[in-house]
Amino acid sequence: MLERLADRAFTPERLQLMLADARRLLSSRRSDGQAKLSTLQAELKRTEGRLNRLYDALETGVVELDDTFQRRAHEAKAARESVLVEMAGLRRRQALPLARILPSHVTAFSKVIRARLRDRTSGFAKDYLRAVVDEIRVEGNAATISGSYERLIAAVANKKEGTVTVPSFMRQWRARQESNL
């Protein structure tokens, strides 16, 4: 299975086609994403204002620290975190280097990834596919592999010429960039 994947999906020609599809899809999403980001920023401002009003009321003695207050503060914090997570996802998609991926990057990435997928002595193939591929569906003699264009673009764009390893990455899990730095 890995041989066929390396020979068919990760050839420079196939990668160029996938990247062209990704560019079209992500370009259309970017314009929608900018409007959504503005909406989310306004929502974040409202949510933070709500939290500040709750804290001000507590500090001035207007409300007591009871179960109702704690529940409302927790709900406001959860709403704020949800907005921050969504904003981070939009910003990550907007930061993808759609135009900067050169054919030489694609060729180098293809060469390295194909060699690493064929290397049965390391666990690289399994780990890398787990990071890039979302689903493998087998129907009869045909297999369909689907994954994220964003992760593919990030992998190809991060390939440095002259290196011997393919970059690996974790799925984004932090709500804010400043978290866990």
Pick the residue with more confidence: 75 or 10?
A: 75
- Structure confidence at residue 78 (pLDDT): 94
- Structure confidence at residue 74 (pLDDT): 94
Structure confidence at residue 158 as a pLDDT band (50, 70, 90): low
Q: 120 burial class (0-12, 13-18, 19+ CB within 10 angstroms)?
A: exposed
Q: Please count the structural domains in the chain.
A: 1
Confirm whether 76 is domain-assigned.
yes
* Full-model pTM: 0.47
Alpha-carbon gap, residue 58 to 60, rounded angstroms: 6
Confirm whether 149 is domain-assigned.
yes
pLDDT at residue 169 above 50?
no
Confirm whether 43 is domain-assigned.
yes
Pick the residue with more confidence: 85 or 2?
A: 85
Q: What percent of the chain has pLDDT over 70?
A: 82
pLDDT at residue 109 above 90?
no
Confirm whether 166 is domain-assigned.
no
User: How do strand 142-147 and strand 133-139 relate by DSSP bridges?
Assistant: antiparallel
Domain of 75, in residue numbers: 2-157
Confirm whether 163 is domain-assigned.
no
pLDDT at residue 61 above 60?
yes
CB contact at 8 A, 105 and 159? yes
Confirm whether 99 is domain-assigned.
yes
Please state the rounded mean pLDDT for residues 136-147.
80
Q: What is the pLDDT of residues 25-43, one digit of tens each?
A: 777 777 677 788 889 999 9
Confirm whether 170 is domain-assigned.
no
Q: What is the mean pLDDT of the chain?
A: 78
- Structure confidence at residue 40 (pLDDT): 92
